[in-house]
Amino acid sequence: MRAFLPLSLLLLTGLSACGSKTACFALSDEDATRKVIAEYGKLSASETGDPRQMQFTSTRVVGVGRNRSDKGDGKGLTQVWFMQDDHTVTVATLTEDCHLQVRPGLDPEAIKRAAIPVHSPNF
C-alpha cells in the first residue's frame, strides 16, 4: 500500500457543488460515474495524486456499489470502482450530498471483500 498519498485523498473533501443534501442519492451507475469524474476534475493538481492510479473513465469501471440507507439520513454512499493501468483498483465514494473520497492502489480482490456489495456497472 502506498503510504504517501495526499491526506486530502483519504478524507472526504468538501465538494458540495450539488447544492442539495441528497443530490447524489440513488444516482444511476452512469450518472454516479459521471459525477465522480466531474468532481475529481475539480480537484487541484496537488489533490489528484498519481495519475497512473487515478484515471477515471466509464470504460474503466469494474463495479458499482451502494449501501442501504434512507434518503436524507446522511448515510447514503455510492462507490464506483475503476481499474487502473498498473492493475490496481481505485474506489471513488460519493456521499448522498456529493462529497467525494478517493482511495487508489487497491488489490482488485478488494471488490470481493467490500463492505458495500458491488455489482457490474449498468450503462
pLDDT, average across residues 43-57: 83
Burial class (CB in 10 A: 0-12, 13-18, 19+), 120: exposed
Give per-residue pLDDT as tens, 60-74: 999 999 999 999 898
Residue spans of the domains in the chain: they are 15-117
- This prediction's pTM: 0.81
Inter-residue contact 123 to 30 (CB < 8 Å): yes
Instruction: Report the distance separating Cα 3 and Cα 121, nearest Å.
Output: 30
pLDDT, average across residues 28-39: 96
Which residue, 81, 63, 57, 64, is CA-closest to 26? Answer: 64
Inter-residue contact 80 to 91 (CB < 8 Å): yes
Q: Report the side by side order of strands in the sheet with 61-66.
A: 100-106, 89-95, 77-83, 61-66, 118-119
Give per-residue pLDDT as tens, 92-108: 999 999 999 999 999 99
